Amino acid sequence: MNCGLTSVIVNFYIHPMKFKQPIPVTQIAAWTNSEIIGDTNAMVTGLNEIHNVEEGDITFVDHEKYYGFTLNSKASFIIINTREVAVFFPSPLGEGARRADEVTLLYNTNPFEAYNFLAEKFKPELRTDKNIAPTAVIGEGTFIYPSTVIGEQVKIGKHCIIHPNVTIYAYCEIGDNVIIHANSTIGSDAFYYKRQHGHYDKMHSAGKVVLEDNVEVGAGCTIDAGVSSDTTIGKGTKLDSQVHIGHDVKVGEDCILAAQVGIAGNTKIGNRVTLYGKVAVNKNIEIGDDATVMAMSAVPSSIEGGKTYIGYPVVEARAFARQVAMIKKLPELWEKLKNL
């Protein structure tokens, strides 16, 4: 099927989770049945979970372990389940320290539910009973095979090829000259849950997936939507088959991700990074530009760019080679020790 341009998209957001117009904090409090502690005249400009907050954003925290981190983040508004926060603002203030009056609190007994309510209100799930939603925008020269599903308010650029049985969820954006192979899923819900009341409550995925120009996605891949920001695959990056990209991940330009690579949520991958087969990457970390990680390695923490890594957990390849050489000498050394 060769599709031309359809209807224009109207989004509530200028960019992920930033409101088109500021919203009074009093309105947010009324919607969530929260008590305002702080500036009742303040205006909220966006909604974000803690790893992506910016000034003007509202976020949430519901565990004392993370109170200090959240209260001293860039968030201007915090839904929180305690009023006792003075201890988290140092006195006297050190260099760069935040003052208590720089943040407005919204006291709520269940911040997770309050935040989730707002996320669903401002970025609702959109459903269609058509294979290609009427609000999808599809560029000139793009070819879409049968049995593909394209959700509401999806944007697809020019000269793309979308193979059979691909699913592209609502709100996702695909650049020009993108190839998506069969059975891949773009924009599935984030794997993000909170255990409370004896069960797991689901975080609403209010972000989307953005594939920039000249990206190629192999067969059977899954790229999850962000929970508040975009999951982004940079220009020219190539994914092999059966790659999984978690929520809010940022992959840079001209990267190579081989088969069965898995990247957990909110991780940042630099430009020209190569991850060979079955590499596992932890959440909330960074991999620098021009890094290479050899097959079947695990990356539990951030690593510098410009180096080659191997192992579980990874070490620099040169250090790994020295370790292997020493291990090979252990039987000989043991024999010598026994003969002393």
Q: State pLDDT tens for residues 120-145.
A: 998 899 999 999 999 999 999 999 99
CATH top class, domain 18-122: alpha beta
Exposed / middle / buried, residue 258 (Cβ in 10 Å: 0-12, 13-18, 19+): buried
**Predicted structure pTM score:** 0.86
Using 50, 70 and 90 to split pLDDT, how confident is the model at 97? Answer: low
108 pLDDT more than 50: yes
Listed in sequence order, the residues at least 6 apart from 186 whose beta carbon sits closer than 8 Å to its beta carbon are: 166, 167, 168, 169, 172, 174, 180, 209, 211, 217, 223
Q: Give the per-residue pLDDT at 271.
A: 98
Q: Which of 203, 193, 189 is nearest to 247 (CA)?
A: 189
Percent of the chain with pLDDT over 90: 71
The whole-chain average pLDDT of the chain stands at: 89
pLDDT tens-place string over residues 32-73:
999 999 999 999 999 998 888 889 999 999 988 999 889 988
Please list the active-site residues: 247
Backbone angles phi, psi at 137, to 5 degrees: -110, 120
| CB distance 78 to 106 below 8 Å | yes
Listed in sequence order, the residues at least 6 apart from 103 whose beta carbon sits closer than 8 Å to its beta carbon are: 38, 71, 75, 76, 77, 78
Fold classification of 137-317 is UDP N-Acetylglucosamine Acyltransferase; domain 1 (2.160.10)
Listed in sequence order, the residues at least 6 apart from 320 whose beta carbon sits closer than 8 Å to its beta carbon are: 310, 311
Tell me the domain boundaries of the chain.
18-122, 137-317
